[in-house]
């Protein structure tokens, strides 16, 4: 019997290797500032060899969201593939330690657990070089009535479309969700990812996805627009709930003709932008699954994103909701 | 040909697993606050299963010192055993990334790389539960004229006496040092470690060790005194250079009838005391190998220790010497 949870995440299960770099380093390894690049194992070794001393933490976009959601007090489950190696053990531990029901067993054979080299610039901007490893072995067989269960929300990430069976397993998850009347949310990951899979994402948003989480660049790429100004008018063609984050310009929540603007919170020093969007999504969904008004969901999301950019890594450890209630 | 370096460290090579805990957790797992306990693999799994989400970073006492020394710009080498697993790869990477000449190859077989569960309390105090794993396989065969070379200082840690061949390999290192007229330094690790090996440490300090790094509890345990007040008069019987750190009460440098007092630097918020002593030792030796006066070595040590307690983990990443010169 599958545990009943509010939120299920399906995503690439990744351990982050975080280190500070300067722009010379980014130039040397040919990594565009702020980008996420998929790399093979040999390139992963090359990058790592060049990097300074690092810190390791569990990461992954929707995996961060699931961890954040559980940390806020929500009940969550997770589907994502790691190998039965030390990094895989770390990833699964960090999920289970938050009470997350991990529904995919570490693979005894195959590729090693995925790692993302997170190169953090002085201003907190993060550039990512990701080796997907064991993630690429996630398959449609992992997505069943049993493993999906009946959560209130099934959350997918755009990056899932980057793995061989990703499009098929995402479709399977959406089918199971529809049969059981579950809400499907999609986090668009990054604008390059949207460009790689624009038509698949567009089709999913038109049919299967209920809530879309995106930043400016991602929603512009999805709708093939030139600027964010063209985005808002175009959204009236959709029935989805759009949650659009705009960094210092706050966020905008749009559903049909209902539009809510949420201001950003000013921060003295951005340490590391890793996980800002993921934390926003976690807290937004925490509010949403607790039937909070959209404006309150947006406030919660903003609060959590603000916490995560003031620390190293993509997951907030402390009791942020306690601080939120105090504030 | 062995690279010529200023400082060689011989110690337990450990990856830290850091997480915040409350006192209830320490009681539940039976870990005395502030202690370091050696645990077996089964116990390591039990502790880890109970811990919250964690961060992983290279650690180990003298290993931290070696990393700190290299980070300050000193040339350093390192002897310590890891396994050829992912944590071992992380440990060696973090050393090499600082330019440290790692002179022990990861073991293809045997026990996994050591890990230390660092349980951090709200006030920054750290309690450690250490599984030594591959460290226990370091042997006298690893200590040769070739691997030791002719550094200015050979730095040992008390913890080395906890591994099966530790006493023998420490003796071997001291013999090679004497033959080549090298300075031997010993960091006493912790007071329980001193109690475990008091007579061996006392004998080494009387014959073989030139510089002793200790905190209050460690030097009290070494000299079998009741309080620190009894320590200073007793040191006149020794020819060693004693570097004694006293937390908020600063540090005291003693050699024969020369005594230097160095005040502590006030800190608003202690984040994590992990590595304070190690950082002090690194910077002190950085000054010492550069022929700085003892008072300047103590100032440098104090500065670096102050940096490391204001962050998570036992190693400072940024250019602390630059900040020191500015201050």
pLDDT in tens, B197-241: 999 999 999 999 999 999 999 999 999 999 999 999 999 989 999
Chain A contacts of B57, Cβ < 8 Å?
55-56
Q: Does residue A276 belong to the interface with chain B, where contact is any CB pair within 8 Å?
A: no
Rounded to the nearest angstrom, the minimum Cα separation between A55 and chain B is 5
Contact B58 A57 (CB under 8 A): no
Q: Does residue B49 belong to the interface with chain A, where contact is any CB pair within 8 Å?
A: yes
Chain A contacts of B54, Cβ < 8 Å?
90, 93-94, 97
Under a CB-based contact definition with an 8 Å cutoff, are residues B17 and B56 in contact?
Answer: yes
Q: Write the DSSP string, A81-147.
A: --BSSHHHHHHHHHHHTTT-EE-SPPBSSSSPPEEEEEEE-TTS-EEEEEE-GGGGG--GGG--HHH
Across the interface, of B53, B55, B318, the residue whose CB is closest to A97 is: B53
CA distance A314 to A67: 10
CA distance A314 to B8: 36
Contact B315 A53 (CB under 8 A): yes
Q: How confident is the model at residue B314 (pLDDT cuts 50, 70, 90)?
A: confident
Contact B93 A49 (CB under 8 A): yes
CA distance B100 to B60: 15
User: According to the model, what pLDDT value does residue A319 have?
Assistant: 65
Q: Does residue B86 belong to the interface with chain A, where contact is any CB pair within 8 Å?
A: yes
Q: What is the signed CA dihedral for B284, B289, B293, B298, rounded to 10 degrees?
A: 0
Contact A56 B53 (CB under 8 A): no
Q: Does residue A97 belong to the interface with chain B, where contact is any CB pair within 8 Å?
A: yes
Chain B contacts of A20, Cβ < 8 Å?
317-318
3-state secondary structure of B102: strand
Chain A contacts of B19, Cβ < 8 Å?
317
Rounded to the nearest angstrom, the minimum Cα separation between A253 and chain B is 31
Chain A contacts of B94, Cβ < 8 Å?
53-54
Under a CB-based contact definition with an 8 Å cutoff, are residues A116 and A48 in contact?
Answer: no
Chain A contacts of B52, Cβ < 8 Å?
97-98, 317
Contact B53 A58 (CB under 8 A): yes
User: According to the model, what pLDDT value does residue B313 have?
Assistant: 82
- Is the confidence metric ipTM above 0.85 for this complex? yes
Q: Does residue B319 belong to the interface with chain A, where contact is any CB pair within 8 Å?
A: no
Chain A contacts of B55, Cβ < 8 Å?
55-57, 313
Q: Residue A68: which H helix or E strand, with range?
A: helix A61-71
Q: Does residue B122 belong to the interface with chain A, where contact is any CB pair within 8 Å?
A: no
What domains lie within chain A, and their CATH numbers?
7-326 (3.40.1190.20)
Write down the mean pLDDT value for chain A. Answer: 94
Q: Which two tokens stand for residue B43?
A: 């116990």
Contact A54 B93 (CB under 8 A): yes
Q: What is the pLDDT along chain A (327 residues), one digit of tens a residue?
A: 567 899 999 999 999 999 999 999 999 999 999 889 999 999 999 999 999 999 999 999 999 999 999 999 999 999 999 999 999 999 999 999 999 999 999 999 999 999 999 999 989 889 999 999 999 999 999 999 999 999 999 999 999 999 999 999 999 999 999 999 999 999 999 999 999 999 999 999 999 999 999 999 999 999 999 999 999 999 998 999 999 999 999 999 999 989 999 999 999 888 888 889 999 999 999 999 999 999 999 999 999 999 999 888 888 776 666 667 776
Rounded to the nearest angstrom, the minimum Cα separation between A54 and chain B is 7
Q: Does residue B51 belong to the interface with chain A, where contact is any CB pair within 8 Å?
A: yes
Q: Write the DSSP string, A267-323.
A: -S-----TTHHHHHHHHHHHHHHTT--HHHHHHHHHHHHHHHTTSSSS---S-HHHH
Contact B317 A85 (CB under 8 A): no
Contact B55 A55 (CB under 8 A): yes
Contact B51 A97 (CB under 8 A): yes
User: According to the model, what pLDDT value does residue B191 have?
Assistant: 93
Note the residue count of chain A: 327
Under a CB-based contact definition with an 8 Å cutoff, are residues B289 and B253 in contact?
Answer: no
For A236-271, what is each residue's pLDDT tens digit?
Answer: 989 999 999 999 999 999 999 899 999 999 998 888
């Amino acid at each position: 019997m599958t545990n009943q949870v509010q939120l299920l995440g399906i995503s690439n299960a990744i351990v982050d290797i975080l280190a500070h770099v300067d722009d010379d380093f980014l130039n040397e390894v040919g990594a565009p500032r702020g980008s996420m690049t998929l790399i093979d194992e040999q390139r992963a070794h090359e990058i790592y060899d060049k990097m300074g001393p690092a810190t390791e933490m569990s990461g992954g976009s929707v995996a961060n969201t699931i961890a954040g959601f559980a940390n806020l007090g929500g009940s969550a489950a997770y589907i994502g593939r790691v190998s039965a190696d030390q990094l895989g053990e770390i990833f699964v531990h960090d999920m289970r330690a938050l009470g997350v029901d991990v529904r995919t067993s570490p693979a005894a054979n195959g590729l090693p657990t995925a790692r993302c080299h997170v190169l953090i610039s002085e201003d907190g901007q993060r550039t990512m070089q990701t080796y997907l490893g064991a993630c690429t072995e996630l398959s449609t067989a992992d997505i069943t009535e049993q493993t999906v269960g009946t959560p209130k929300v099934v959350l997918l990430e755009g990056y899932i479309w980057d793995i061989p069976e990703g499009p098929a397993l995402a479709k399977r998850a959406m089918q199971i969700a529809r049969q059981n009347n579950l809400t499907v949310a999609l986090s668009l990951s990054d604008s390059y990812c949207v460009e790689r899979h624009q038509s698949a994402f567009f089709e999913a948003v038109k049919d299967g996805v209920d809530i879309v989480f995106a930043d400016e660049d991602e929603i512009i790429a999805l709708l093939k627009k030139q600027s964010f100004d063209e985005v808002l008018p175009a959204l009236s063609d959709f029935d989805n709930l759009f949650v659009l984050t705009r960094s210092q310009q706050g966020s905008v929540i749009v559903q049909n003709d209902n539009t809510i603007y949420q201001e950003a919170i000013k921060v003295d020093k951005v340490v590391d932008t890793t996980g800002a969007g993921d934390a926003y999504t976690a807290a937004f969904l925490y509010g949403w699954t607790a039937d909070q008004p959209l404006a309150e969901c947006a406030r919660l999301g903003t609060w959590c994103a603000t916490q995560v950019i003031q620390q190293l890594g993509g997951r907030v450890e402390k009791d942020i909701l306690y601080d939120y209630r105090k504030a």
